[in-house]
Structure 1
Amino acid sequence: MTATDRSTELIQTAAQAAADKLAHDIIAYDVSEVLAITDAFLLASAPNDRQVKAITDAVEETLQREHGAKPIRREGERDGRWVLLDYGDIVVHVQHSEERVFYALERLWKDCPLLELPPDAKATHGKGAEHAEANPESGMRE
């Protein structure tokens, strides 16, 4: 079993929305073979809490507008360090860069197939590291 066409469409749209808000290191995994609860995970990160919220809001608004999709759950918004949007078919994780490194979700899902992303989303790979090198102060907790 692989991710459904609907899940793939939602991932594509969410990835583009995240890229439009300058998310870093956007990646998507087809987890349908190993999880019964969802088809795909989208991971994105940002260097500060405000941008995590902006990315999360953009993903939610875009999925609602373009696909009529509303999250079943939205968790972590108050802290702004790791926001999870659960749409049933997909789960979107937007993490502060520090949480992304600490929790290393990619390590957990590395055996799952990657999903194709829009060019703007692919172009974000490595941007988190570039930002950290250029702005060493931004890695400090707010």
Structure 2
Amino acid sequence: MTRLTKNSKILTTIIKAIQDKKGENIVSLDLRKIHEAVADFFVICEASTNTQVKAIADSVEQSVKETLGEAPYRHEGQQSAQWILIDYVNVVVHVMQPETRRFYKLEEMWSDAPMTNYES
């Protein structure tokens, strides 16, 4: 399987889809040098309501499908919409409400990974 780069089409498509739906505090974590990591990248963002969390997740899935013809390997969390996870195998997207993000602290858990911030 080919390793992704920071400029991979799937990563740029996901970031743009999040920005289009006004996702906030968007970061990507580059996990390629971390052996225990389950993916090459995590993309994490937040939204303040269940409705917006779901809209961002839907936008990501639709954009990746339209642009790259790829459906997620799996997704979880659509029911509660506190934290929706979209797994594209090499990239895992986390759309979270702010309190959920503060509680789980993914950025701290993966603090060895280089982090890139994106404009909201």
Give the TM-score normalised by the residue count of structure 2: 0.89
Larger helix proportion, structure 1 or 2?
A: 1
Identity percentage of aligned residues: 34
Taking the TM superposition and a 5 Å limit, the aligned residue runs for 1:4-15 are 4-5=4-5, 8-15=8-15
- Counterpart of 2:31 in structure 1 is 31
Report the RMSD for the aligned CA atoms in angstroms. 2.0
Q: 2:56 & 2:114 partners in 1: Cα distance?
A: 24
Q: Secondary structure at the match of 1:4?
A: coil
Q: Secondary structure at the match of 1:41?
A: strand
Q: 1:105 & 1:5 partners in 2: Cα distance?
A: 21
Q: 1:97 & 1:108 partners in 2: Cα distance?
A: 16
Larger strand proportion, structure 1 or 2?
A: 2
Give the TM-score normalised by the residue count of structure 1: 0.76
- Counterpart of 1:139 in structure 2 is none
Unaligned runs of 5+ in 1: 125-142
Aligned residues: 118
Unaligned runs of 5+ in 2: none
Report which of the two structures shows the higher radius of gyration computed on alpha carbons: 1
Which residue identity lines up with residue 12 of structure 2 in the other structure? Q
Q: 1:42 & 1:75 partners in 2: Cα distance?
A: 15
Q: 2:11 & 2:101 partners in 1: Cα distance?
A: 19
Q: 1:54 & 1:101 partners in 2: Cα distance?
A: 21
